[in-house]
Amino acid sequence: MRRFAYCKVVLATSLMWVLVDVFLLLYFSECNKCDDKKERSLLPALRGDAKVGTG
């Protein structure tokens, strides 16, 4: 039973560190500082603003 408790603690701390790493990568990402501000979301495609057949 003690082994299961240790496993839960290891998994919880690992998940916490993964979330911290993802936050830091997104916060300090170079893409946030791009000079050309391109819209990178899916919203234009969902609205139908995207050009169909280009490519």
Q: Has residue 12 been placed in a domain?
A: yes
Q: What is the pLDDT of residue 44?
A: 59
Tell me if 32 is assigned to some domain. no
3-class DSSP state for residue 50?
A: coil
Residue 49 to residue 53: CA distance in whole angstroms:
13
Residue 42 lies in a domain: no
For residue 10, is it within any domain?
A: yes
Domain region containing 5: 1-26
What is the tally of structural domains in the chain? 1
- Asked, for residue 36, whether it belongs to a domain, the answer is no
As a whole number of angstroms, the distance between CA 44 and CA 54 comes to: 15
Please check whether residue 14 lies inside any domain of the structure: yes
Structural domain includes residue 17? yes
* Chain segment 15-37, per-residue pLDDT in tens: 999 999 999 998 888 765 565 55
pLDDT digits 0-9 by tens, 3-19: 899 999 999 999 999 99
